[in-house]
Amino acid sequence: MIPFSLLWGGFAIFWEVGVISSGAPFFFCLFGVPFVLVGLYIMIGRFFFDAQQRARTFYGVSYKRIIIVSGVFSRTIKSLSLKTLSDIILTEKSDRSGVIAFGPTNPFVWMYGGIAWPGMGQHQSPCFDGILDAKGVYETIRRAQETNSNG
């Protein structure tokens, strides 16, 4: 995503500066502004948006449910029953941090996963993202799921 964002943003800024410095009509100057704004967002802004989203996301595990509270512009609460949850996927990095995904993964999520455009998270499976001790949390969830199914 970074090479594309640099290409898009660099060209949009180059084009806009060229149009403004050539004394083109106001419409041509105005036409490039949305492209520059999108370019700035995908080059820089998406990282700030992602940081805001992570700062406002909270995860919880009870003996019956998985709870995810998130949202930058509005609050979204996802509650998943451990009893009916079939797929729990752990992706662990070498530093023991990782992602725990709940439910089947959308095969096309790679197309828009790196953009972090507001609202794109609705196309992904619910997950605990950026967990420090991912395997420990995964095991806690599995134990709660087993306890829930036995009792």
Taking only the tens of pLDDT, the chain with its 151 residues reads 788 889 999 999 999 999 999 988 888 889 999 999 999 999 999 899 889 988 999 999 988 999 999 988 889 999 999 888 888 889 999 999 999 998 877 666 555 555 555 555 555 778 899 899 999 999 999 998 888 776 5
Q: What CATH number has the domain spanning 57-150? A: 2.30.29
Beta bridge partners, 67, equal: 60, 79
Domain parsing of the chain, residue ranges: 2-53, 57-150
Cα-Cα end-to-end distance for the chain: 47
Contact of 123 with 112, CB cutoff 8 Å:
yes
What residues contact 107, with CB distance under 8 A and at least 6 apart? none
> Element (H or E) spanning 88, and its range?
strand 88-92
Whether this prediction's pTM lies above 0.75 is answered by no
